Amino acid sequence: MNAKRPSLAVNVAGIELRNPVMPASGTFGYGEEYSAFVDLKKLGAIVTKGLSLNPKAGNPMPRIAETTSGMLNAIGLQNVGVDTFVEKKCPYYRVLDTPVFANFFGNTLEEYGEVARRLADVPEVTALELNISCPNVKQGGIVFGTDPKAAAEVVSLVRKHNDKPLIVKLSPNVTDITVIARAVEEAGADAISCINTLTGMAIDIRTRKPKIANRTGGLSGPAIRPVAVRMVHQVVQAVKIPVIGIGGIMTASDALEFLIVGARAVQVGTANFIDPAAMLAIIDGIEAFLVEEGLEDINQVIGSLSL
Amino acid sequence: MKNYQTIILSNLEISPGYWRMRILAPGFAAAAAPGQFVMLRPELALPTMLRRPFGIFRTGCLPPECAGLPPREYMEILYKIVGQGTRIMSDLHAGDRVELLGPLGRGFTINDTSCAKILVGGGIGLVPLFLLAEALIDKGHQVRLLMGGRTRDDVLAVTEFERLGVETYVSTDDGSLGEEGLVTKVLERKLSKYPCAEVYACGPMPMLAAVERICSERNVPLQVSLESHMACGVGACLGCVVKGAGHSDQRPNYLCTCKEGPVFAAGQLDWGRAVNTEGGCPEGGCR
């Protein structure tokens, strides 16, 4: 006789997810790119590539370089723009029954507001993930992700234009991430996702040139995981809203570390490049862990850190 | 396209710094088109992590190891040791496990015209031309291969093309094998001989840029196969883009090497500047 399968369902910002595993923005395209490898109906959610008001060309090549247990990227937020996204990419989501988190950004405060407004009445978009943290794009002198006042301002503005659940994605490139976390919570964020990539640099010793045309890039992959677990732990302690953990998750046990420190869900990024089916293995692994531990519900693991 | 968890059948150095890996891959041959590629990674790849892209060289079938077993279908890559990832690959042996994603991307378009089919390969750029030569010969075309390398060590597998029935012309920069000089010189000479020709090329960026100039001056149709660093191979990471024709900052036209390529009609690309600075030509620089 089969024992009852444990429940993996979690609730993030009022959204029911069938499990806590979803892709990190920018590593999964708009979802459809991976449909040959991943049954998208098995994911907790789909998180889109970052969207901007106008289509964006992105940075010059080379844009990526592998480093020890990680990779640097400076894609430069190349994307089709919010209008093309709504018109061309959204219809695909109708048949999926998987929540869609639209990640977006602006170059100015006004642009953030306008993108949020254009996503407000799009039925295929379940929630917004507000990117105030991409290290590869200069934002007219204001770096929204590193200044608590600017961060709060952009969150309030987006709130005004859009009623959907709002997740704010934080940068790790700050002195104290909890200051920004509290600022966005106060300004009305429904959830926080963290961390984005750590700014890094790598050099080709023969040409003396940076390995990335943008000079610096965002470091992702297992190299950053301990930093990410620490920061998620700090943010969970600092705020009451749910936190989605991100940073170098390759396996189920990596994901469980984030859940144990209190993340309500996790995002998988670089692992998608290495194994297109990585998220499915992580979901299965989390379920197997619950069975091994004799637990019925993933919520018994979330925040179970023993100090 | 399939994600294989499979094993290496053999992995041999065929010329100093160049290796040939044969990988067990049932069903691969029927799926693979000339010019496509794979993303490959040893299962225990630490300290490297990402898969590496490799052009498909050949596909084939070995007789069963014992009577009663099915025949073993395989695919082959040729690779040059360029960094840590490929160095680790060269340490692998038959029976070692690899993860193979493929076949991926868009390959060569074969036009059934009576024009002369000229293949131009530079060094390791020879790789995607073998399946193409095979397909062209299957369709009854006569095929010429112009193969260039810096030295004789960089000229690979030419006899395998000859066995297919391809007319081959070898040139090396130092004259250590075949004619001394650039492969593009041979191309110019050959093109003046045929009233009508089509060119398929793969090699380093400076060579491709020169081939493009030669072909566009003569209105000869050209398809090129490009190389790039890649993370995903399926169009998601946008780490392997090239500038397409008419690209500008205002009206970006980036094409993914992995998904819209790796083979492009020359007219699809922006040749005004170097199309891709990786492994090739620094912007504007080296013609």
Domain of residue A116, CATH code? 3.20.20.70
- Chain A residues in contact with B254 by the CB 8 A cut-off are 57-58, 78
Chain A: residue whose CA lies nearest to B278 = A62
Does A136 reside within a domain? Answer: yes
Residue A285's Cβ-count burial label (10 Å; 0-12, 13-18, 19+) is middle
Kindly list the structural domains of chain B, giving each domain's residue range(s) and its CATH number in brackets, ordered by start: 2-104 (2.40.30.10), 116-268 (3.40.50.80)
Residue with tokens 């926080």: A192
Percent of chain A with pLDDT strictly greater than 70: 96
pLDDT of A140 above 50: no
3-class SS shares of chain A: helix, strand, coil, % to 5: 35, 20, 45
Residues B11/B20, Cβ–Cβ less than 8 Å: yes
Q: What tokens were used for B6?
A: 């499979």
Residue A64 touches partner B, C-beta closer than 8 Å: yes
Q: How far apart, in whole angstroms, are the C-alpha atoms of residue B2 and residue A68?
A: 28
**How many other β-carbons are positioned within 10 Å of the β-carbon of residue A128?**
27
Residue B117: closest CA among B35, B201, B57: B201
Handedness of CA B66, B68, B69, B72 (dihedral sign): positive
Q: What is the mean pLDDT of chain B?
A: 90
> pLDDT band at A138, cuts 50/70/90?
low
Residue with tokens 């040893």: B42
Q: How far apart, in whole angstroms, are the C-alpha atoms of residue A225 and residue A208?
A: 29
pLDDT of B284 above 90: no
pLDDT at A136: 53
Residue with tokens 């109906």: A41
pLDDT at A144: 86
pLDDT at B276: 45
pLDDT at B70: 84
Residue B98: closest CA among B3, B233, B5, B1: B5
Mean pLDDT value across residues B208-229: 95
Mean pLDDT value across residues A158-166: 97
**Contact check, Cβ <8 Å, A277/B3:** yes
Residue B99 touches partner A, C-beta closer than 8 Å: yes
HSE value, Cβ hemisphere, 13 Å, CA-based, for A254: 26
HSE value, Cβ hemisphere, 13 Å, CA-based, for B27: 9
Residues B224/B264, Cβ–Cβ less than 8 Å: yes
DSSP state of A50: P
pLDDT of B230 above 90: yes
pLDDT at A241: 98
Mean pLDDT value across residues A261-286: 96
Nearest CB to A57 within list B229, B231, B252:
B252
> pLDDT band at B247, cuts 50/70/90?
confident
Does A213 reside within a domain? Answer: no
Residues A179/A148, Cβ–Cβ less than 8 Å: yes
Chain A: residue whose CA lies nearest to B238 = A75
Question: Using H for helix, E for strand and C for coil, what is the string for chain B?
Answer: CEEEEEEEEEEEEEECCEEEEEEECCCHHHHCCCCCEEEEEECCCCCCCCCEEEECCEEEEECCCCCCCCCEEEEEEEEECCCHHHHHHHCCCCCCEEEEEEEECECCCCCCCCCEEEEEEEHHHHCCHHHHHHHHHHCCCCEEEEEEECCHHHCCCHHHHHHHCCEEEEEECCCCCCEECCHHHHHHHHHHHCCCEEEEEECCHHHHHHHHHHHHHCCCCEEEECCCCCCCCCCCCCCCEEEECCCCCCCCCEEECCCCCEEEEHHHECCCCCCCCCCCCCCCCCC
User: What secondary structure does DSSP assign to A124-178, as a single string?
Assistant: T--EEEEE---TTS--TT--TTT-HHHHHHHHHHHHHH--S-EEEEPPS-SS-HH
Q: How far apart, in whole angstroms, are the C-alpha atoms of residue B169 and residue B187?
A: 10
Give strand pairing partners of B17: none
The amino acid sitting at A264 is: R
Residue B148: closest CA among B123, B176, B180: B123
Q: How far apart, in whole angstroms, are the C-alpha atoms of residue A294 and residue B117?
A: 66
Residue A216: closest CA among A129, A287, A282, A137: A137
CA angle B261, B265, B271 (to 5 degrees): 95
Instruction: Indicate the range of A245-259, B93-107, B263-277 predicted with least confidence.
Output: B263-277
**Contact check, Cβ <8 Å, B231/A55:** no
Q: Is A134 a catalytic residue?
A: yes
Residue A25: closest CA among A103, A109, A84: A103
Residue A123: closest CA among A62, A73, A164: A164
- Chain B residues in contact with A270 by the CB 8 A cut-off are 49, 231
Residue A238: closest CA among A188, A186, A165, A172: A186
Instruction: Indicate the range of A12-21, A74-83, A173-182 predicted with least confidence.
Output: A74-83
Residue with tokens 């490929």: B86
CA angle B123, B125, B127 (to 5 degrees): 110
> pLDDT band at A134, cuts 50/70/90?
low
Give the list of residues 6+ apart from residue B179 with CB closer than 8 angstroms, or none. B169, B170, B171, B172, B186
Mean pLDDT value across residues A216-220: 95
Does A305 reside within a domain? Answer: no
Residues B266/B217, Cβ–Cβ less than 8 Å: no
Give strand pairing partners of A101: A47, A127
Residue with tokens 């869609």: A100
**Contact check, Cβ <8 Å, B237/A73:** yes
**Contact check, Cβ <8 Å, B238/A78:** yes
Structural domain boundaries, residue A281: 10-60+75-202+219-300
Q: What tokens were used for A171?
A: 């940068």
Q: How far apart, in whole angstroms, are the C-alpha atoms of residue A116 and residue B96?
A: 50
Q: What tokens were used for B86?
A: 């490929």
A302 in helix, strand or coil?
coil
Q: How far apart, in whole angstroms, are the C-alpha atoms of residue B210 and residue B188?
A: 10
pLDDT at A302: 98
Q: How far apart, in whole angstroms, are the C-alpha atoms of residue B145 and residue B126?
A: 9
pLDDT of A93 above 80: yes
pLDDT of A107 above 60: yes
Does A240 reside within a domain? Answer: yes
Does A3 reside within a domain? Answer: no
DSSP state of A299: G
- Chain B residues in contact with A70 by the CB 8 A cut-off are 49
- Chain A residues in contact with B101 by the CB 8 A cut-off are 276
Nearest CB to B236 within list A29, A63, A221:
A29
Q: What tokens were used for B189?
A: 């000479």
Q: How far apart, in whole angstroms, are the C-alpha atoms of residue B145 and residue B5?
A: 34
Does A4 reside within a domain? Answer: no
pLDDT at B45: 61
> pLDDT band at A1, cuts 50/70/90?
very low
Q: How far apart, in whole angstroms, are the C-alpha atoms of residue A30 and residue B17?
A: 40
CB pairs under 8 A between A and B: 92
Number of domains in chain A: 1
